[in-house]
Homo-oligomer: A and B are copies of this chain.
Amino acid sequence: MAATSLSHLYGQLSSNNICSPPILNRSRSFYRPIVSMTTIMEQQNKSYWAAIETQIDTHLKKSMPIRPPTSVFVPLHHLTFSASKSTAPPLCIAACELVGGFADDAVTAASAIHLMHAAAFTHQHLQLSDGPMHEGSTVEHMFKPNIELLTPDGMVPFGFELLGLSEQAQKNSDRILRVIIEISRAVGSQGVVDGMYQEILHGKLKGVDDEEMMMYVCEKKEGELHACAGACGAILGGGSEEEIEKLRKYGFYVGMIQGMLNGIGKNKQERFEIVKKLKDLALKELELFQGKNVDQISTLLEM
């Protein structure tokens, strides 16, 4: 998706900040309803997403028990579970269910997406010789920089290994290969890494008009990762090509909203107008699924 595809939404924006994923409350659930009033419906949604989150955590813990050499596996475990929670992995499972698949079909892909996210999160906060990667980072460092450098280097291939070893790889090798390509692109040099690059290169230029760059970084770091999650869930659930593309676009809007509401400058009033428009666009993508249970997946727009 081109950087300019959403530029019409940003006419009113006057922020010079670059959006970033949330860096506080990193171990808490990703579920943060915008409206504080608790209703029965809200509780049900909370339970739905909490159950998915538990399923992903359980799958990851089972897949990577702490074992020798503990000097490797203790940091791997810690950095995997202490990274901020992203909405992308649960979206992957919800998309799979929406097209008629089972949650189990997508749990490995969701776990792999979390590993990629946790690896990027850890490197984003690494202490380099010319200063920290992320300005104003409040992340506590449990390990020395060399360990925080190398551990994510193990997380990323581990995510691909999980996909290759999954039950789906036996049953539907073509689907898993497609998911491997989707995830590679979303997290690599044309995806999350590109967003992190541009954030570094342009993020510190104060006083310049970088609204478009902020949008580009948001698209790369959050939009495309969530788009990938939606598409992967639909692929693994056996969705049609049309369903896959609709859930890719839905995921993209969810990611953009997450980036805008939880990144730097998240309390700017102008953002709420843009988020409202993004929500409308997202809901439009779900129209294809009329008659199916779209209520659950659409509550991601309220988080």
A244 at interface (Cβ–Cβ under 8 A)? no
Listed residue (A176, A183, A188, A196) with the most chain B CB atoms within 10 angstroms of its CB: A188
**What CA separation (Å) do A285 and B146 show in the bound complex?**
37
Residues of B within 8 A of A65 (CB): none
B146 adjacent to A193 (CB under 8 Å): no
Choice from B145, B163, B184, B193 contacting A130 with Cβ under 8 Å? B145
Listed residue (A146, A156, A169) with the most chain B CB atoms within 10 angstroms of its CB: A146
Q: Which of A11-19, A70-78, A99-107 contacts B (4 or more CB under 8 A)?
A: A70-78
A149 adjacent to B147 (CB under 8 Å): no
Residues of chain A at interface, number, CB under 8 A:
58
B126 adjacent to A127 (CB under 8 Å): no
- Given A72-B197, A128-B149, the answer on whether A157 and B154 have CB atoms closer than 8 Å is no
- Given A150-B197, A193-B153, the answer on whether A127 and B130 have CB atoms closer than 8 Å is yes
A189 adjacent to B158 (CB under 8 Å): yes
What is the copy number of this chain in the assembly? 2
A149 adjacent to B126 (CB under 8 Å): yes
**What CA separation (Å) do A178 and B173 show in the bound complex?**
11
Name the interface residues of A25-70: CB closer than 8 Å to any CB of B: 69
**What CA separation (Å) do A158 and B189 show in the bound complex?**
8
**What CA separation (Å) do A116 and B160 show in the bound complex?**
13
B130 adjacent to A128 (CB under 8 Å): no
Residues of B within 8 A of A133 (CB): 146, 149
| Residue of B with least CB distance to A73 | B189
A263 at interface (Cβ–Cβ under 8 A)? no
B69 adjacent to A198 (CB under 8 Å): yes
**What CA separation (Å) do A240 and B211 show in the bound complex?**
57
Residue pairs across A and B with Cβ atoms less than 8 A apart, 18 shown, are A69-B197, A71-B197, A72-B193, A116-B157, A123-B149, A123-B153, A126-B149, A127-B128, A127-B129, A147-B200, A149-B149, A150-B196, A150-B197, A155-B189, A158-B189, A161-B185, A165-B181, A180-B180
A binding-site residues for B, Cβ under 8 Å: 69, 71-73, 76, 116, 119-120, 123, 126-133, 144-147, 149-158, 160-161, 163-165, 169, 173-174, 176-178, 180-181, 183-185, 187-190, 193-194, 196-198, 200-201
Q: Nearest 3 pairs between A and B by C-beta?
A: A154-B189, A161-B184, A127-B129
